[in-house]
Amino acid sequence: MEVQETRVQTDRVLTIPNILSMARLVGVPLFLWLILRPVFHGPNSDGWALLVLMLSGVSDYLDGKLARRWNQISSLGRLLDPAADRLYILSTLVGLTWREILPLWLTLALLARELMLLVMVGILRRHGYPPPQVNFLGKAATFNLMYAFPLLLLSDREGWLASLAEVFGWAFAGWGTSLYWWAGILYVVQVRRLVKADTAAD
């Protein structure tokens, strides 16, 4: 993650990139409901859940690309995009852990990283810095996890396709978790340097 603030190019709320990000946020409770239906003795809706997750990934790619191409980077968009990423990851962790597809230790490892970043955001705000921007490493971690989760969901079946999905799903989960923590540690180092510079200036 980067502490630098991306230049805001518009104050408009209803831009195409922002609408795409809002649609992704609306899809979070729908996705969680679909993935948890079997837990509450409902029909298996994993196919629909995977579709929602895939559409979320497409919109995640498009909102950033369109915002840069059409000069529609906005303050709201800078908040909506990472918020949607984190909510999808959180809802997927809840759903897959509840269904015992993900082990509890992996869920706790990812949640601990998020808690660490929340603490760092609080420190930044106390020193007058804006919320962090997601850098390439953080995005790479998110993309790995967003590939891992649907594959692991697909692995909760029988047959060769499920076995193949399990192998690739755990590969993406391993890379994603490692990159997630790597990006988080780099962010902590950046925050430490900023705080140390502020203290020296005082």
132-188 confidence digits (pLDDT tens): 666 778 878 888 888 898 889 888 888 888 899 999 999 999 999 999 899 889 888
Q: Which residue stretches of the chain have pLDDT < 70?
A: 1-13, 64, 67, 70, 72-78, 131-134, 200-202
Domain residues for the domain of 163 are: 16-201
Amino acid 85: pLDDT: 77
What CATH number should be reported for the domain holding residue 56?
Answer: 1.20.120.1760
- The domain tally of the chain equals 1
Quick check: is 3 in a domain? no
Quick check: is 61 in a domain? yes
Amino acid 3: pLDDT: 41
For residues 138 and 177, give the distance between their C-alpha atoms in angstroms, rounded to a whole number.
11
> Is 169:134 a contact under the CB 8 Å cutoff?
no
Quick check: is 161 in a domain? yes
Residue 52 half-sphere exposure, CB side, CA atoms within 13 Å? 22
What letter would DSSP give residue 13? S
What are 143's two structure tokens?
A: 């993309």
Quick check: is 192 in a domain? yes
Quick check: is 48 in a domain? yes
Quick check: is 11 in a domain? no
Quick check: is 194 in a domain? yes
Alpha helix segments (H runs only) across the chain: 16-36, 46-69, 75-98, 104-126, 136-154, 160-201
- Residue 74's φ and ψ, nearest 5 degrees, are -130, 165
Quick check: is 49 in a domain? yes
What are 176's two structure tokens?
A: 């994603």
- Cβ within 8 Å of residue 5, ≥6 positions away: 130, 133
Count CB atoms within 10 A of the CB of residue 75.
14
Amino acid 174: pLDDT: 93
pTM of the full predicted structure? 0.73
